[in-house]
Structure 1
Amino acid sequence: MGSLQRFSLCFSWKRIVCIFFLPVILSGFAPRVKDKEDLIFANAQLQPAQYRFNWSHLTPLKLMDRSVGLQTESRVGSKPYFTLGGHKFLIFGGSIHYFRVPREYWRDRLLKLKACGFNTLTTYVPWNLHEPQRGKFDFSGNLDLEAFVLMAAEIGLWVILRPGPYICSEMDLGGLPSWLLQDPKMILRTTYKGFVEAVNKYFDHLISRVVPLQYRKRGPIIAVQVENEYGSFAEDKDYMPYIQKALLERGIVELLMTSDDAKHVLKGYIEGVLATINMNTFQMNDFKQLSQVQ
């Protein structure tokens, strides 16, 4: 019994010593980073401030001066980059689609996006859900786009909005409402009169809700996508300029952008609108065509 007690005391004493010295031991295994002056830091987080980007002041609730929105800039000797409010800004964007997440979980999902290090939320807007029947619009409950965007701002996320009207997003008909097909002559994603009239009525309801949420209106929306991957469809050369004009005429003032796969970017871009590409894997060759239109 006495030897067992002595063993217990000895074990406890050794355990205390190990716990005390554990942080010292583990620090020897911390990642080491060399800066330009060959100074070694035991932890990458301890590097001098000039080698870190700090965007803590570039959040929707902290950035007060909204005179200059998201822009692209290029200087001699450096690669092109984004600026926000005149500050150099790197977009870390992640997608959460409000219409796919129960409203009760919105805050949880947005907080997790923020915790992962993202500073920007991207989301589509599904026409087929917001106008399930011609002329009957729904922006309530789980489809309350405005509440979702404002919640993102409250959490500290900027927003890139992708309103379509076609969004793909692995939805039937790419998010276009099925009632469009009641017109036997309908030609989707073109300037066909029946399609344009339907888009105009939808945008009248949608964009009026989006305008107050823009960056320059003190909202979190810093960019808006024009349609979605039109280059792989490209049935009407006048269609993309029409969608661009429809957004501008209804009050969209933030940076406009297009998004296509690398092979079709030349068919989907618009003059004066930032062209971007989608890729599953990073391939330098994918940027060749993009560089022609950026």
Structure 2
Amino acid sequence: FRACLSWKRMVGIFFLPFILSGFGPRFKQEENLVFGKAHPPQPRFNWSHLTPLELKNRSVGLGTESTGQGNPHFTLEGHKFLIFGGSIHYFRVPREYWRDRLLKLKACGFNTVTTYVPWNLHEPERGRFDFSGNLDLEAFVLMASEIGLWVILRPGPYICSEIDLGGLPSWLLQDPRLLLRTTNKGFIEAVEKYFDHLIPRVIPLQYRQGGPVIAVQVENEYGSFNKDKKYMPYLHKALLRRGIVELLLTSDSEKNVLSGHTKGVLATINLQKLHRNTFSQLHKVQVRHLRQAGFYSSFCRLCNRCSVKTGLTRRPQVFTLGPWQAPTHFGSLLGWRGRREPCLCHLRLWITSWR
């Protein structure tokens, strides 16, 4: 009986692939039928299995395009492209776990990883730069490329990220005449030296150089600060002058996008809530807007399910989850502690944070 059972099992295993293959064309045909009409399958350019290494021609890069119906979208080498990203901050994850976290991000279907670049860690003392060990930005970006993820860099110089002084080095405060996040001479000189060490490391990692970096963010939410009208144009030119050729963008709240935007840079807004006038200020900057699905939720609280569902059903062109994994604050980087919900404050440890 056991021999007979084993024999039947072996026959079934042998013929199963041929049986299933016979149904393949039928399933494929039914999949392409919409309202009784056959449609060719859509190109899988935007599927998460696409890796940066699969592209042979790199000349156009990430851009924006609008259809006749006024529905703008991102494109990569002329193909419609949805940025489905998650945030992993390399400086908040032990280097030994970088690959593990990136693989898990990829396994969840994401195609892009975003990360800040903390100035205060890369230049802890004036003139002493560190891009080694857990701060090896190049190694992190190359690892993401190897795994098959695009990269969006957010180099600041101010990054916020719920980090001490927004990622600005504390030694800047030693000069009483220095004005942070302005075109003040002392601050600009420090930024220039920092960019001279940082940006050359980024240049070969850009998309058109064969790397995975498809976009670079200029500063971070400057509209809420807005102390110097010349500051953002200066940063824009500073990046271009050093060889950044990929798409540049800004990030601001919906109310401050006018103050934080600069000419020649794609303006984006952080969607905290969706309402009738969410995009009104953005329309004043650029007629065509790209929707982003990304909604804030307090630490240890269930997500804003209604907002997320609404955002997703409105076909966003950008979906980013930040943070994708729970990071750790090493040393005295501090974390984030909300004021609106004091009942949850005891759940927020100082050594870790939602970002």
TM-score by length of 2: 0.69
* 1:248 match: 240
Equivalent of 1:37 in 35, 38, 46: 35
Q: Distance in 2 between matches of 1:133 and 1:35?
A: 63
Structural RMSD (CA): 1.9
Q: Distance in 1 between matches of 2:283 and 2:152?
A: 22
Q: Distance in 2 between matches of 1:148 and 1:80?
A: 31
- Name the CA shift for 1:118/1:198 in 2 (closer, same or farther; >3 Å): same
* 1:204 match: 196
* 1:193 match: 185
SS for the counterpart of 1:93 is strand
Q: Is the CA contact 2:121–2:130 (under 8 Å) kept in the aligned structure 1?
A: yes
Q: What amino acid is the match of 1:106?
A: W
Q: Distance in 1 between matches of 2:263 and 2:230?
A: 12
Larger relative contact order (CA 8 Å, sep ≥ 6): 2
Q: Give the number of aligned pairs.
A: 255
1:72 and 2:64 are equivalent in the alignment: yes
Q: How far does residue 280 in structure 1 lie from its aligned partner after superposition?
A: 2.5
* 2:250 match: 258
Q: How far does residue 263 in structure 1 lie from its aligned partner after superposition?
A: 0.6
Q: Is the CA contact 2:216–2:247 (under 8 Å) kept in the aligned structure 1?
A: yes
Q: How far does residue 51 in structure 1 lie from its aligned partner after superposition?
A: 5.7
Q: Distance in 1 between matches of 2:88 and 2:261?
A: 25
Q: How far does residue 284 in structure 1 lie from its aligned partner after superposition?
A: 4.3
- Name the CA shift for 1:142/1:90 in 2 (closer, same or farther; >3 Å): same
1:55 and 2:53 are equivalent in the alignment: no
* 1:13 match: none
Q: How far does residue 115 in structure 1 lie from its aligned partner after superposition?
A: 1.1
* 1:181 match: 173
1:135 and 2:127 are equivalent in the alignment: yes
Q: How far does residue 55 in structure 1 lie from its aligned partner after superposition?
A: 2.6
Q: Distance in 2 between matches of 1:177 and 1:218?
A: 32
Equivalent of 2:273 in 269, 281, 284: 281
Q: How far does residue 287 in structure 1 lie from its aligned partner after superposition?
A: 1.1
Once the two structures are aligned, what percentage of the paired residues are identical?
A: 73
Q: Which has the larger radius of gyration?
A: 1
TM-score by length of 1: 0.83
SS for the counterpart of 2:156 is coil
Q: How far does residue 186 in structure 1 lie from its aligned partner after superposition?
A: 1.2
Q: How far does residue 76 in structure 1 lie from its aligned partner after superposition?
A: 1.5
Q: Distance in 2 between matches of 1:184 and 1:170?
A: 24
* 1:153 match: 145
1:108 and 2:106 are equivalent in the alignment: no
- For structure 2, list consecutive stretches of 5 or more residues without a partner in the other structure: 1-30, 287-355
